[in-house]
Amino acid sequence: MGGSLQDHVDVEQDMQAGSTYVPDLNDKAMEKRIVRKIDMRILPFICIAYLINFLDRVNLGNARTLNNDIPEDNIVNELDLRGNRYNLAVAVFFVPYVFFEAPSNFAMKYFSPSVWIGRIMISWGIITVCTAAVFNFSGLLAIRFFLGVAEAGFFPGVIMYLCYWYKPSERATRMAIFAGSVAVAGAFSGLLASGISFLNGKANLAGWQWLFVLTGIPAVLFGAVVWIWMPNYPQDAKFLTPEERAFAVARMGPFAPQKEDKTFDRKIAKQTLLDPLFWIYATSYFFMVNSLNSFSYFSPTIVANLGFSGYTAQLLTVPPNAFALVIIVGNAIHSDYSKERIGHAMGALVLVGTGYLLLAVLTNWIGRYVAVFLIACTNAAVMPFLAHRTATVSGSTATALATGVTIAISNCGGISAPFLFPSADGPEYAMGNWTVFGMLCATFLMVIYLGFKLGISSEYRDFAPGAQEQLAQTISVEGKIPDEGRDSREFPSATAKDVEVSQNK
């Protein structure tokens, strides 16, 4: 089996868990207590960080409509964002962002999650504040490019970070709580922009300049907090006792990425990238991100085109995001509870697709506003989908690629989405709405195929790239041995004879 039960006891001794302690993974009370502790220490960091990230990501969309009732102080006029210039400013962010996504995940493994994610936040915060000093379109393009460099790796890094702490059947809820920060940020950004609009002219700064300053500073401050205090891995979590640390590591099973994994395994990387299903996942997510980014950047404009202006238009972006938060988290919680992924992703895709269909065919403001509520729920499909993706790979290298490369490819949707909604197509934006609707229909079919090929379960599967190699070298710490053809965490209890044979090898 490539390792004895005693070897794993030695590992526990190295972790200072005691010379005789072997975790009993059937102790559900202890597991529940540990997961609750992890939730309390992990989720606040990543949720607040993502809330700040999203505020910085979409503040250009809010700046576009900020003080639009005072044309001389609006960013569109001050920076001459005529024609497709705004769309280009949105798209240029994603060019370096996409390029550096996957390498960032391997850098995070090298530097540790707290240092790397903290560094990302501090970098983008400084650049966001500097955006207030831009005085022409060329300067805006340059600052948006460097903002993409700074932010690259944050989202896939957090998704991979969660894989170190949570079992596959626990991830959708945590990803949804994390992504729910987007809905909170979307609602909060409307309130924040409404308030900031009243600062227009203060200290000789326009409202849009105040927006960049006041959304950039929190990223710098909280980035420092993340760098210093965010836990890195279960193996060195100071908020857990030695026994709890041993249990937290053991409960993850042999397929989960580990602190000790090689930073890059060429063989596993090749297997992962040559798997056709890898590219089906990437394409599906690319189509969903077109929906996500279309909503992020154009919902303020869509609401403004319903006939509202000024702070009223900003405030009307709040209710759709509040509604989306309930749907996103509720769908993910039920997905984890039922341990089913595919059906939950498909149901949310139907909801969001209906929203784009309504935008494409309706002209009255009530129907279009209802559509905005539905489109805001895109992450309700994304979270079960991503949780399914992370359960079909094994180890740090495959997980880094499955999160980093898949999300990098998907974020090409950040480049394409702005050009689906050219200003000349307003206020209906028929081309963009029909195109995204078609993308979601294609995604629906691909998700069905993924479910057919890989199953609909939330559990790790033994056919994940690299899984067989890991199983060949692994025996679980509580004396269980893997059984071919079963899910990785569904090991049958080892008999006394099994353990004796294992110890003699």
Cβ pair 439, 466 in contact under 8 A: no
DSSP string, 345-359: HHHHHHHHHHHHHHH
Higher pLDDT, 22 or 120: 120
* pLDDT on residue 22: 78
469-505 pLDDT, tens digit per residue, is 544 444 443 333 333 333 333 333 333 333 343 344 3
- pLDDT, residue 234, reads 92
Per-residue pLDDT averaged across 168-192, rounded? 79
Whole-number Å distance between alpha carbons of 346 and 435 = 18
Give the pLDDT score at 123: 96
Lowest mean pLDDT among 49-53, 253-257, 258-262: 258-262
Q: Which of 230-234, 261-265, 360-364, 453-457 has the lowest mean pLDDT?
A: 261-265
Q: What is the pLDDT of residue 365?
A: 80
CATH of range 31-259+269-493; options 1.20.1250.20, 3.90.1150.10, 1.10.3720.10, 3.40.120.10? 1.20.1250.20
310 phi-psi bin (left φ>0, alpha ψ -120 to 50, beta other): left
pLDDT at residue 255 is higher than 90: no
> pLDDT tens digits, residue range 22-54?
778 888 899 999 999 999 999 999 999 998 988
**pLDDT of 224 over the 70 cut:** yes
Q: How far apart (Å, rounded) are the C-alpha atoms in residues 441 and 424?
A: 26
Q: Which residues contact 354 (CB under 8 A, 6 or more apart)?
A: 371, 374
Q: What average pLDDT does this structure show over 126-149?
A: 93
Residue 262 confidence (pLDDT) above 80: no
pLDDT higher than 90, residue 116:
yes
Q: Give residues with Cβ within 8 angstroms of 59, minimum separation 6.
A: 128, 189, 193, 211, 212, 215
Q: What percent of the chain has pLDDT over 90?
A: 31
* Per-residue model confidence (pLDDT) at position 186: 66
Say yes or no to pLDDT of 18 above 70: no
Q: What is the mean pLDDT of residues 260-289?
A: 83
Backbone angles phi, psi at 293, to 5 degrees: -75, -35
What is the rounded distance in angstroms from the CA atom of residue 227 to the CA atom of residue 117? 7
The pLDDT score that the predictor gives to residue 501 is 38
The confidence score (pLDDT) of residue 499 equals: 35
Report the pLDDT averaged over residues 173-200.
79
Residue 33 CA to residue 230 CA, distance in Å, equals 19
Domain ranges of the chain: 31-259+269-493
Average pLDDT score over residue span 89-117: 88
Q: Is 203 left (phi over 0), alpha (psi -120 to 50) or beta?
A: left
Average pLDDT, stretch 364-372? 87
Burial of 110 (0-12, 13-18, 19+ CB in 10 A): exposed
Q: Is residue 87 a contact partner of residue 136, using CB atoms and an 8 Å limit? A: no
Choice between 45 and 386, residue whose per-residue pLDDT is larger = 45
pLDDT of residue 502: 37
What pLDDT does 142 receive? Answer: 95
∠ Cα 77 67 127 (to 5°): 70
Instruction: Output the average pLDDT for the chain.
Output: 80
pLDDT at residue 458, rounded to an integer: 62
In tens, the pLDDT along 6-16 reads: 434 344 444 44
How many whole angstroms separate alpha carbon 55 and alpha carbon 184?
Answer: 10
- Tens of pLDDT, residue by residue over 298-344, are 777 777 777 766 667 667 777 888 898 899 989 999 988 888 889 99
What pLDDT is recorded for position 115?
Answer: 96
